[in-house]
Structure 1
């Protein structure tokens, strides 16, 4: 096949000695084609890590590679970057040694689109610190060591916070910032986790070819039969509307085995049986929420329950009265001024209320789970410095994008802006040190127009917040305000 290209589209090729080079900053001709070609050549030989100046580029191999074993960890411990092939362990080791040498906290930003491998690499970084800075087992300790607990925090959070999306079978639907604290001697002292932006809409709605959170399907796998009796559930996901609007299985993923891993992780983290089964009960209650039925009263604007079986099961699992639950949904108490009044609801309003309650309940349960994990990881040992690892949900564009996905994409955009700007500034400092004459252009601010459109006063989020305050606001009134403020005024805003 012959393709004719214009001369100005041609770019210089690098000499053969640069083939599969480990640091692309060394290329004689640094252009997009050269970068992509080098990454492709290395990837074809399963070299998934490549340096590019100050940072490390990773390509997801979508298969297990033997590059994370204990001997590999040992090979990178205390080594300078130039002494071993590119690897996430080298980045982690440099951060660890910079912390000890400079007596300063360090942070690692792991960024990329959904499915790029951010969460896996975050786990590898944590595994590295857990091995090189291990405290060792405390004698007579019943639970796992601190190293074990830090590593097991991931499967516990992933069960409740990860899901299959169109682009990624194990997509993190929340962001997390993990701080690994070290004592004065550089040994592990403790850890804590902050979470952001859990995608609550997934609790009640999934697109075709997607799933809700893994924990639903783990519970319904039948691997722990006692859960079916305890949670009053069948084993068929399609019996539960809130978790069966997309697919219910994932290729090459055994939900039963994953349930055992989740259960084991919670045991290692010191969860009591009441705490562990309490979490499962809330997940079960939310499944029953999705099956509650309502109908309109004749000649009235008021809804009523159409059977109470699902409400009875949900209320039982949450330890509340079924009658109170139904009453709260059908006749909620609303504060007006200093008084409470009871207001009626039609069927549509009640269905919205059930969805809102399910989302809020799941969100609070997830936050409680992370708080409980932090309680275990807080050892009260002396801590001096920390290394922070940021792993956020990846950038994705769907046919139908949730509000949470807008927030996730916006966060990615801001982080990419910070990353680009920071890297250009650091590179400029390198040039100054080497005495290179250089006209500085900061491409790191190229994303500002899009960021302003979303976050500035009278931006998308500001207008949305304002519309939420108006009783008669609708999707159409929100859209009209966006058009009035941004059509023809914001380059990134189009119909």
Structure 2
């Protein structure tokens, strides 16, 4: 991409735009990439980047669509993995004034970062987090982030890290909510968010639920309060990530009055096929048939989403390269060119299992396949009809509907270890999934109490996010 930008920028305006596009990539790498077992700079989000060019082939604008941010990386990490780079970069490259103002500590003092025991990148280019922080600051200035906004962003990052350190203790009675046992940390988080400690504690130890269109407040115990805290951490970071993307796009994207670009180049970057293999890796493992139960933990809803998008992308690329009825091959066939017949592995059955329609078919207004069953379960959950057995009910419906499908693997063992599992035969191999929390993660409801809390923040940046 850097070479394309260099060749397509000649004027000062074009050179500045090219520099901003490169800076945008730096921001997305810092806030959206992380170290995994297989890749020290793995994309943990989907990135659809458009580069727009005028009739002379000069760069004129750009915009990016991001999706599928891996929010599980904000609560607990697998051994030898890291959370998003920006946390480590800021802790390594913060100024003396920032360290004093935010009371920064060592990465090992933050529960989120300490959960994997890995704080540094492997030796090599771009492995120095302090230098990465310097590059990030420069990129943010290039994209027009004001110093006060940069400070607010860093403040929110510290608040997220400190939220992970909050600990809860059960109340004295069943009708008494849990309480925060380390009040000094609560005070610091509240100060960073611009809210009262009492209000923050209230939001973390109580939860608002919609049941049959009625709003109820539920008292939480210590374990549930920890889950509520994790939910707030995920939502805060996702909102911050989206703010950074939208602010950057505002600098780069064309206005509604600009003519359509004469030419555009699209760059797609998304995670590839995921399955847990030896040592807990979440990268592809082509080792043939695998048992439904894994000794290294089970894939969940996040891996399911990644593998679904990867399955669609694989089918799209395969069809457009090898089939004569789509893509550029149609034009060659119409011009009388005889193309050789090439045998490929058709993953259409897997696509049909998941979405209820082949990629060559128009998807129904309501999703079919596995997504249709999941969508129905989510609708029941949002309306308050889903009971505590919603995971078991979902798995039972999946086994009933798709048990005979060639791409579906139903658990046949009666042991407790695999009673919540199902498998899918993907193009890259078989992957098993734990159905636990599929519905909750797919619904991904933002607690209304979070919204009220942040909207009433005394910090203008937080209240307007």
In 1, are the aligned partners of 2:75 and 2:164 still within 8 Å (CA)? yes
Do the aligned partners of 1:182 and 1:383 also contact (CA within 8 Å) in 2? Answer: no
Q: How many residues align?
A: 363
Per the TM alignment, residue 428 of structure 1 is displaced from its structure 2 partner at its CA by 6.2
Kindly tell me: are residues 279 and 473 of structure 1, through their superposed partners in 2, closer, same or farther at Cα, counting changes over 3 Å? farther
SS of equivalent to 1:351: helix
In structure 2, the CA distance between the partners of 1:437 and 1:387, relative to structure 1 (3 Å rule), is: closer
Contact 1:294 1:347 in 2 (8 A): yes
Counterpart CA distance in 2 for 1:223 and 1:353 is: 29
Q: Secondary structure at the match of 1:387?
A: strand
Assess, with a 3 A threshold, how the Cα gap between structure 1 residues 196 and 138 changes in structure 2: closer, same or farther: closer
Q: Distance in 2 between matches of 1:362 and 1:463?
A: 30
The match for 1:483 among 388, 399, 418 is 399
**Match runs of 1:271-282 below 5 Å:** 271-282=145-156
Q: 2:188 corresponds to which residue?
A: 313
1:326 corresponds, among 201, 214, 220, to 201
Q: Which one has a bigger Cα radius of gyration?
A: 1
2:171 to 255, 277, 297: 297
Three-state SS of the structure 1 residue aligned to 2:51 is: strand
Cα displacement string for residues 320-363 of structure 1 (whole angstroms, at most 9, x for unaligned residues): 22211111122334455676443211222211111111111111
Structure 1 segments of 4 or more deviating over 6 A? none
TM-score, length basis structure 2: 0.72
In 2, are the aligned partners of 1:178 and 1:193 still within 8 Å (CA)? yes
SS of alignment partner, residue 312 of structure 2: helix
1:197 Cα offset (Å): 0.5
Give a deviation string over 1:429-456, Cα, whole Å, max 9, x none. 5356454386x67847x11111222223
The 5 Å alignment of 1:141-220 reads 145-220=16-91
Matched, 1:130 2:8: no
Give runs of aligned pairs for residues 20-169 of structure 1, distance below 5 A.
125=1, 127-138=2-13, 145-169=16-40
Deviations 1:219-240 (A, max 9, x none): 1215533332232321x21211
Matched, 1:471 2:387: yes
State the Cα RMSD in Å. 2.5
Shift of 1:405: 2.3
Question: C-alpha displacement at 1:288, in angstroms?
Answer: 0.7
Please state whether the residue corresponding to 2:233 is helix, strand or coil. Answer: helix
SS across alignment from 2:268: strand
- Please give the secondary structure, in 2, of the residue aligned with 1:332: strand
Structure 1 equivalent of residue 157 of structure 2: 283
Seen in structure 2, the aligned counterparts of structure 1 residues 485 and 458 have a Cα distance that, compared at 3 Å, is farther
- Kindly indicate whether residue 122 of structure 2 is the aligned counterpart of residue 251 of structure 1: yes
In 1, Cα distance between equivalents of 2:259 and 2:401:
53
Partners of 2:52 and 2:265 within 8 A in 1: yes
Quote the offset at 1:264 in angstroms.
Answer: 0.9
- Aligned counterpart in structure 2 of residue 389 of structure 1, from 252, 267, 275: 267
Cα pair distance change 1:435/1:213, threshold 3 Å: closer
CA separation of 1:402 and 1:390: change in aligned 2, threshold 3 A? same
| Residues 145-173 of structure 1: per-residue CA shift (max 9 Å, x gap) | 11100111111111000001111110001
**Structure 2 CA distance, aligned partners of 1:412 and 1:176?**
13
Alpha-carbon offset, residue 319 of structure 1: 1.7
How far, CA to CA, are the matches of 1:338 and 1:416 in structure 2? 41
Can you list the C-alpha shifts for 1:47-102, whole angstroms capped at 9, x where unaligned? Answer: xxxxxxxxxxxxxxxxxxxxxxxxxxxxxxxxxxxxxxxxxxxxxxxxxxxxxxxx
In the TM superposition, residue 484 of structure 1 has moved relative to its aligned partner by: 2.7
In 2, the alpha carbon distance for the partners of 1:130 and 1:458 equals: 42
Q: Is the 8 A contact 1:421 1:442 kept in 2?
A: no
SS in 1 for 2:61: strand
- Alpha-carbon deviation of 1:216? 1.0
CA drift at 1:218: 0.9
Do the aligned partners of 1:421 and 1:443 also contact (CA within 8 Å) in 2?
no
1:331-350 mapped onto 2 (5 Å cutoff): 331-335=206-210, 340-350=215-225
CA distance, structure 2, for counterparts of residue 169 and residue 341 of structure 1: 44
- Describe how 1:410-449 pairs up with structure 2 within 5 A: 410-424=308-322, 425=324, 426-427=328-329, 429-430=331-332, 433=335, 435-436=337-338, 443=344, 446-449=346-349
Q: Distance in 2 between matches of 1:352 and 1:471?
A: 19
